Amino acid sequence: MKSNILTDHTLIIDEIDRCIKFHNWSSILSLLPKGSYLVGGYIRDIILGRVTEDIDVDIVVPFNAIEIGKKIADKTESKFIILDQKREVVRIIFNHISIDIANQIASTVEGDLRNRDFSINSIAFLFDKTCLFDPLNGLKDLEISLMRTYSEKNLLNDPLRILRCFRFVSELNFEIDLKLINFIKKNKGKLYFVAKERINYEIQKIVNGENALEAVILLKKFNIFESDNLYEDSFFLDLKKINYADLNQSEKETFLPLFFVAQILDSVSLEKLKFSKTEIAKIKLLRKWHIFLENNNITQLNELDRFKLHQELEIFLPSFIFYLPQNLRLDWLNRWRNKEDKLFHPSNLLNGEVIKKYFNIKDGPIFGELLQYLSKELAYERLNNFDEAIYKAKQWIEQNAPKCD
């Protein structure tokens, strides 16, 4: 059992009350009808002693969620959004807190909780009785860090919940119940009925979680995204064999998410799942240089290839480190960490406007090649000052600019 988890009902209720007052939304409670209750991640995180930047509250009311939400928003001067007109689900943005209000869908509170995704999200706090209601033993599952569902049908109602299992592995370091694992293996294909943007959102949560490595290893083990070449393509590495200790904590948080995404999705899947053009371009560069180094000895690269590698990978080089031979990784990292290292951080002594002014040259291929040449000369420390850059530029233009009769 985790040391900071709350197990005593009285202590949990006291902490819920404290959190409601601390985040200053207790004024809303008086506007809720009898029979309303708090449920879901807000209670779960309070029990786990988990502090999150985003405060998301889920409240269930017996009826008229849209009308009640509108009334609360008007009285508290909050932003009001209808999330689902048919099912009556609304959101209020109150003091930077997101509060979702929905109708109870079953005839009883217990029936309603049995329709939720996982037991750990099925613990209710009944406002009227000021008590916890936990018919599915969610509190016990929180104590033993276990992901379990009451009904597989609940997951099929929204197959995204299959992927959400791995988000809880990543964010909460939970294990997945064996019955749930078997269900996931059998039904993972149903994920593709889910809106691509929702899948993308969950993947981003997974790869950015505190225990992302464990979650990503499971995603690969179960081949959740059913990539045909996940085990054949050399680009996909054995994540268990990698030593991640070379990266510091900040580098892990910044660069491992991109590396993990590249390890679970191929290029076609990235585009299907609406990843940004920037993310896709970066992963394509990771793949490009991995293939290049598979066919070329990294210690024998010519100057231009080595320069282009650093030019293209500069801003996210730590995401590429694990494709290098083990004996080079730390050296490359240390050089990359040194912002004064001109090869690992290519730049120019002259900006484009200065070059245009001095040499009366216009935008085009020749101009681009000249900038590339000067940047490479600086990277290999064959330029030291402005005058040398001007001299080298003049020489290059004389040798490479097209001659006119």
Residue 215 burial (CB < 10 Å; 0-12/13-18/19+)?
A: buried
Residue 214 burial (CB < 10 Å; 0-12/13-18/19+)?
A: middle
Please give the pLDDT value at position 247: 97
Q: Are residues 157 and 98 in the same domain?
A: no
Token digits of residue 368:
């681009």
Q: What is the pLDDT of residues 103-129, one digit of tens each?
A: 999 999 999 999 999 999 999 999 999
Average pLDDT over residues 80-92: 95
Q: Flag whether 217 is in a domain.
A: yes
Q: Are residues 31 and 132 in the same domain?
A: yes
Q: Are residues 17 and 61 in the same domain?
A: yes
Please give the pLDDT value at position 230: 74
Token digits of residue 375:
């940047």
Cα→Cα distances 385→135, 374, 393, Å: 74, 12, 12
Last residue of one domain, picked from the residues 124, 143, 162:
143
pTM comes to: 0.89
Crossing angle, helix 196-207 and helix 249-264, to 10 degrees? 140
Beta-ladder partners of 146: 175
Q: What is the pLDDT of residues 45-59, one digit of tens each?
A: 999 998 787 889 999
Last residue of one domain, picked from the residues 143, 175, 192:
143
Q: How far apart are CA 379 and CA 213, in angstroms?
A: 35
Q: Are residues 126 and 160 in the same domain?
A: no
Q: How far apart are CA 220 and CA 131, in angstroms?
A: 41
CATH code assigned at 161: 1.10.3090.10
Last residue of one domain, picked from the residues 143, 160, 191:
143
Quote the domain boundaries for residue 154.
149-278
Pairing of strands 56-61, 97-103: parallel
Average pLDDT over residues 370-396: 90
49 CB contacts (<8 Å, ≥6 apart)? 4, 5, 6
Q: Are residues 259 and 356 in the same domain?
A: no
Q: Are residues 94 and 177 in the same domain?
A: no
Token digits of residue 339:
């912002």
Beta-ladder partners of 59: 38, 101
Is the pLDDT higher at 403 or at 303?
303
Smallest CA-to-CA distance from 117 within 189, 48, 180, 201 is with 180
pLDDT tier, 2 (very low <50, low <70, confident <90, very high otherwise): low
Q: Are residues 269 and 227 in the same domain?
A: yes
Cα→Cα distances 318→70, 221, 286, 376, 395, Å: 48, 24, 11, 21, 36
Q: Are residues 116 and 171 in the same domain?
A: no
Q: Name the domain count of the chain.
A: 3
pLDDT tier, 405 (very low <50, low <70, confident <90, very high otherwise): very low
